[in-house]
């Protein structure tokens, strides 16, 4: 199935990984949102669970190992072209994940990968909805005194 102008929505995953007051972000290599910082993730492959997919995608993009802790949200990401035709449509499963280990490096589908201090998110180009989502999740973690380091 084509990712651009698909005939059906495509299932995808993304990971929120918080470590020592920083969140793992990747600069996207491909559209949609090429060159913009966002959460690591990608498309679910045939025969894998969404949990397996998020672990594989994070490893492929960043070189690190994670453990999914909780499914936080399921949302639609729909991008239309100038004529109104659907160019991209993903159904995204957003997971809170725990960092297990590995050396951080940008790998496939990522131009760069880095831990970004939650206080410095305004200093990078990040999608507004992604920023709001990160802020809300981090606020919830602090309110419940949850640490994932």
Residues designated as active site: 112
The residues near 118 (Cβ < 8 Å, ≥ 6 apart) are 18, 21, 22, 23, 134, 138
**Could you tell me the CA-to-CA distances from 129 to 1, 86, 135 in Å, in that order?**
27, 19, 10
**Could you tell me the CA-to-CA distances from 37 to 7, 8, 12, 48, 116 in Å, in that order?**
27, 26, 17, 26, 10
């Amino acid at each position: 199935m084509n990712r651009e102008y698909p005939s059906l929505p495509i299932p995808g995953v993304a990971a929120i990984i918080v470590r020592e007051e920083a969140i793992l972000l990747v600069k996207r290599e491909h559209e949609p949102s090429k060159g913009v910082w966002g959460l690591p993730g990608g498309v679910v492959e045939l025969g894998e669970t969404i949990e397996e997919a998020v672990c594989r995608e994070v490893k492929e993009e960043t070189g690190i190992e994670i453990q999914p802790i909780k499914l936080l949200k399921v949302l639609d990401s729909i991008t239309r072209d100038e004529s109104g035709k659907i160019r991209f449509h993903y159904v995204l499963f957003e997971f809170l994940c725990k960092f297990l280990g590995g050396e951080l490096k940008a790998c496939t589908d990522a131009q760069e990968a880095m831990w970004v201090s939650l206080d410095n998110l305004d200093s990078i180009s990040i999608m507004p909805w992604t920023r709001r989502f990160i802020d809300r999740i981090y606020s919830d973690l602090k309110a419940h005194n949850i640490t994932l380091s």
